[in-house]
């Protein structure tokens, strides 16, 4: 009788171990996927943050016109973001005919960048 109880207990422990191992591996895989996703989002936010810092330094903090080299740097940076909405707003800003429209598009661009960095 005690031998049968011991076999039943060992069987239950073995089944429990398999179940716990399955849950552990499933949770580990889920955690790994979440970490990869978070890293991807962080990398993307970093790209937008770098462009935002560049935009502030080269456009907002300059006293006059933006140099050709700075324009080229900004243009390349905005294209590297691969975001059509930001690129479109950037083009509208660059093609503005007067200061009021430029300010409007710059505000829109800044808002889009902030939203991409912290959705």
Mean pLDDT of the chain: 91
Q: Is the pLDDT of residue 41 over 90?
A: no
Q: How confident is the model at residue 15 (pLDDT cuts 50, 70, 90)?
A: very high
pLDDT for residue 84: 94
Q: Is the pTM of this model over 0.75?
A: no
Using CB atoms within 10 A of its CB, is residue 15 exposed (0-12), middle (13-18) or buried (19+)? exposed
Q: How confident is the model at residue 2 (pLDDT cuts 50, 70, 90)?
A: confident
C-alpha span between 61 and 26 (Å, rounded): 51
Q: What is the mean pLDDT of residues 53-74?
A: 88
User: Which residue has tokens 């895989």?
Assistant: 29
Q: What percent of the chain has pLDDT over 70?
A: 99
Q: Cα torsion for 23, 25, 30, 35, to the nearest 10°?
A: 140
Q: What is the mean pLDDT of residues 16-45?
A: 92
């Amino acid at each position: 009788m005690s031998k049968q109880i011991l076999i039943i207990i060992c069987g239950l422990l073995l089944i429990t171990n398999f179940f716990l191992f399955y849950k552990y591996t499933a949770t580990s895989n889920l955690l790994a996927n979440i970490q990869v996703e978070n890293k991807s989002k962080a990398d993307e936010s970093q790209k937008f943050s770098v462009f935002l810092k560049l935009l502030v330094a080269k456009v907002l903090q300059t006293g006059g016109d933006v140099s050709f080299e700075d324009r080229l740097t900004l243009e390349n940076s905005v294209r590297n973001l691969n975001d059509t909405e930001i690129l479109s707003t950037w083009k509208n800003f660059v093609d503005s005919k007067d200061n009021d429209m430029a300010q409007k598009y710059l505000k829109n661009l800044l808002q889009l960048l902030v939203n991409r960095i912290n959705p």
